[in-house]
Structures are given as structure tokens and as C-alpha cells.
Structure 1
Amino acid sequence: MTAPHILTNDQIVNLAPAAGALEPIDGVSSRYSFVPTLTAVELLRDVGWLPVHAEQSQVRDLTRDGFQKHLIRFAKKGLDTRDERVDLLLYNSHDRGTAFRLIASIWRKVCGNGLMISSEFANFTHKHVGFSPDAFMASAIEIANSAGIIADQVEELKLIDLRPEERGSFAEAAHIIRYGKEPENEPPINALQLLEERRYDDQGKDLWTTYNVVQENIMHGGLKGSTMASNGRRRGMTTRPVKAIDKNVQLNQALWHLTERMAELKLKAA
């Protein structure tokens, strides 16, 4: 596995122009302390986190264009295992939409899939008002120091085997997380479709593999389904990937929480 390509600041701004904003959106409070995202990037570089990916959300309100939410993924030397890599995600906006957030992530090498951790020890929020560079860097260091804990969690999940009915229950819960359970919002696919493997390496029935298969199917889309057309007939369709950054973070962290809860239940029953 080759090392990830490290982005320059110019490349970050090319991928996510809002990360290069030099001032906040009009109308912010006088108490708002504008901290450019690229300043945060440099702080993270100083403690060994190097940017490897950047993206930003789409906006309908053009007054927010250039200030909207954006997400930058960072990798750090020495946080690799054979199959995974512990990363850090920086989530921010300059439109009053969010504070700086630092989120631990697991990059799965076999599929290039990024998973987000919802555990408190792996998530930090830093408000623009009263922003402290020292506290910000301390949070980044703490995520790096937690890499061993995260790697151990992953190995524990790989050792938890699920019975067919437990995998079905996991998929049903994930299906509700993605589509809700209101009858008027008929989902295009059924829960068990979320268990469809995309590659040979995903044929395992352990909790880690089940979680990865379900997460990838939800986030990347591509599953064949159908919806009810206005004429009352069913129309074939393919599920779409989740592109909205807010939804990406929300779903990813909810799925991680679901996986942790399933692990707790299995360990208690053992």
C-alpha cells in the first residue's frame, strides 16, 4: 500500500475553496473570531497531521458559497496497521454553520473507505469565539495518542462473530438510521440488501466486516431498488451515494455508535 498523497494548501483550496476563505460570511457577531481553515491546517501540520483529502458541501444559497462546510482528512506517520489507518478529520465552516471539529477516523485500505468514530475521546469541538491554538493542537495530539485504543477496538470487533439473525438485526437498525421508519417514506431498498458484499474480502460474518459492508453500501450507494411512481407503478432505481457533508458525518457516527452497542451486547452475553 503506497503512502497517501500529501496536499499542499493550494491543492486544498482547489478541492474545497471555502477552506481558503480570508474572512467570514457577512453578518457574523462581533464576538466571532475569524480563524482561517488554512491556519488550522498549519497547526495540524505542526503536530504531524498531514492533509490527504479535502471536499466541501454544495450550497443552494449562493451568498454562502465560499464559506460553506468543508472537510479535510489528515494522516499521520506511524498510525497504520496492516489493513487500516487511523486518520483525523477537520470539519469547519465560515458561515456560522459549525465550529471547528476534530474527529478520529479509520481509513480502510482495501476499499479506501473512511469510517468516523463517535466516541467522546475521539471527538473535539473548538469554537471560533475564543479560539485557542494550543488547545486545538492538544486535541489533535490526543487523537494521535488514542490511535492504539482505536486499533484495539477494531481488533475486538473482528473477533466478534455474528449469527445470521444478529447480522439481520444490525442491518435493520442501520436501515432505520439511513431511511427512518415512517411508513410514508418508503425506502428504495430493504434492510438485508445492506449486507450485500462488494468484494471477496468482505465475506466474513464478524461484526467489523458486517459494519464495513453496511457502512459502504449506505455511504457509496449503488444498490438496486425501486420507488413508487406517481402513476402507481414501481420504478427501478439505484441508491445514490451520500455526498452532503453533514449527512456523511451524522450517518457515519451513528453507525459507529450502533456497532459499539452491538459489541457491548455481544460481550455481555458471552
Structure 2
Amino acid sequence: MSMNILTEQQLYRSAPAIFANSPDRAVSDRYGFVPTINIVHSLQNEGWYPVKALQTNTRNKARNHLTRHMIRFRQDPDRQILVGDSIAELILTNSHDRSSAYQLDLGLFRLVCSNGMVTQTGDLGNIRVRHGKQVVENIIEGSLQLAVEIPNLSESVEKFQSTLISKEEARVFAEAALMMRYGDNWKNQSPVSPEMLLLPRRNEDKEPSLWKIFNRVQENFMKGGLLGRSVNGRLTRTRAIKSVAEDVRLNRALWKLTEDFSHHKTLAHRHFLH
């Protein structure tokens, strides 16, 4: 299975903060600065290659090299691990302005929609590494720990695929997702209804499985473009999520929601059998 490995020129065009050579001037002397590109090179040496990069937009161009950025890594085609209809990835996020430590997550790239998701990894959670002298070694160690979790991730996806969801349950899922995105007052703040959020973008996603419901909601959030109404009642279209922090936060929350749904469905099924 082929993939497009990003060159350093492509990485720079997508996220120049990867190549920062100094931190924010406001950080203390104890802040151990390590350029993100050093981490990229180290992960490449371990067989993980950058395939996507982005960074949060900032109005202050002078801080363009400090802002939060994300890089998605995938193993070479001979070693890629398929998880259902997706490929396992590593997601690295970082900033150089003290707003975040290095974070490493396990993720999935769904082949049919080219839309990446960030997953929970059981008790491991995401791996946070503070800036310091051992950051490279800790990131590499973290990548090995996360790779061990991939079989568990595959089991979760298989369970989601085999779990059928009713229309009423799908609506509850969408309502919970809108609350994650817009807060407790989502009914007034969300420009779209739960039904709009559940609309499939392709025929193969019409299947009423938990996996497809999750993917519909996740893709509609991430890519935007849904027609709705603003708080003022004007017709509008939802925006794609371009903030690195919100991308990771919402992806994690949606994955946790899906796991919770799967767990409750399993408990309900067991109760019914007894």
C-alpha cells in the first residue's frame, strides 16, 4: 500500500514551527528546547514516516514558529498495520511557547475518507513528554509502548463494526457529540441538528453500525461544510476544524464516547440474555 512521505520542504510549508531553532523568549532557562524536526528524524530512524502536518493559525506572524503543531506518522507499506478499514498511525503534537508538552497518541487513518482520528489507548492514555534533555529517548520509548496497543485497538474497531445502532441510539450519540463540541447549551449554540451531524458522505457509511455512526460524526465535525443556522438565525456552513488542540481534543472525546456506547450495548445485551 503506497503512501506519500512528506519531504522537509513539504513539512515546512505545512507547519514551519517544526523547524523552530529556539523557544519563546519568555520560557525559563530550565526549559530544555528540542526542535521538533529532531523528533521527526528519530521516528524516521525507527520506521515511522511523516505523512501529514499542520499547525494552528496565529494572527501574530512573529509567533508562527512557536505555535502548536501536529505531525502524523505511518510505517512503511511493508510494515503498515491495518485496523479494520484504517491504518494505524502515530500523532505527535508540540509547541515551543509553553502551551503544551510533547504529546504522542495512537491514531487511525481511515482509507475511504482520508480523515485521521486520534484514539484512546486503554490505560496508557496519551504519552506526554516534558521538554528536556531526554525528550528524544522518551518519545521513542513512547512510540514503542503505543505500537504494542495496536492489537487492542483492532479489537475495539471490530467490536464497533459488529455493534448495530438504532436511529434513536444514533441520535443520542450525535447529541452527546454536539455537547462535546459546543457545551451544555449545544441546542442553542450548535448550527446543526443531530440529524445533520449523522448524514453519511458516501453510500458505504449508511450502514447502522457503531463504527459507521462514529465515522459519520467524526468526519462531519472535522471537514465541516454542513448547512445550518447561526445563533442569529442566519444560514451558515460549519467550518472545518483547523486548530491542532481542538482536533486532538475532539477526536479523543469521540473515541471515548464510542467506547462507552459499545460498553453499554454489551452490558444491555448480557442483561437481555439473562
For Structure 1 versus Structure 2, the TM-score category normalised by the shorter chain is over 0.9
Question: Residue 154 of structure 1 aligns to a residue in which SS?
Answer: helix
2:10 pairs with 1:11: yes
Task: Quote the offset at 1:186 in angstroms.
Answer: 2.8
- C-alpha contact 1:104 1:122 (8 A) present in aligned 2: no
Give 1:91's match in structure 2, choosing from 68, 93, 110.
93
> Normalization by structure 2: what TM-score?
0.91
Alpha-carbon shift at residue 8 of structure 1 (Å): 2.2
Consecutive unaligned residues in structure 1, runs of 5 or more: none
Residues 27 and 113 (structure 1), Cα distance of their counterparts in 2 relative to 1, 3 Å cut: same
Q: Deviations over 1:54-85 (max 9, x none)?
A: 11111123442211111001001331256210
TM-superposed CA distance for 1:258, in Å, is 0.6
Whole-Å Cα distance in 1 between the matches of residues 84 and 186 of structure 2? 43
Provide the rounded CA distance (Å) in 2 between the counterparts of 1:207 and 1:14.
Answer: 37
SS of 2:208's equivalent in the other structure is coil
The residue correspondences of 1:189-228 to structure 2 (distance < 5 A) are 189-228=192-231
User: Which of 153, 157, 173 does residue 154 from structure 1 map onto?
Assistant: 157
C-alpha contact 2:224 2:240 (8 A) present in aligned 1? yes
Q: 1:67 to 1:160 in 2, by over 3 A?
A: same
Q: Percent identity?
A: 36
CA RMSD between the two structures: 1.7
Tell me by how many angstroms 1:137 deviates.
Answer: 0.7
1:250 aligned to 2:249? yes
Name 1:173's counterpart in structure 2. Answer: 176
Deviation string 1:203-240 (CA, Å, 9 cap, x unpaired) is 111100000001111111111111254xxxx3211111
Cα separation, 2, equivalents of 1:200 and 1:184: 28
The one of 99, 106, 109 equivalent to 1:107 is 109
Aligned residue in 2 for 1:64: 63
Alpha-carbon distance between aligned partners in 2 of 1:132 and 1:63, rounded to the nearest angstrom: 26
How many residues are matched?
265
1:135 Cα offset (Å): 2.4
Residues 6/84 of structure 1: CA separation in 2 closer, same or farther (3 Å cut) = same
What corresponds to 2:124 in structure 1?
121
Report the CA distance shift for 1:228/1:31 in structure 2 as closer, same or farther (over 3 A).
closer
The runs of 5 or more residues in structure 2 that have no matched partner are 270-274
CA separation in 1, counterparts of 2:239 and 2:139? Answer: 35
Q: 1:249-268: per-residue Cα shift (whole Å, max 9, x none)?
A: 11111111111111110111
**Cα-to-partner distance string for 1:120-168 (whole Å, 9 max, x where unaligned):** 4252111003534322211111222222211121111101111221111
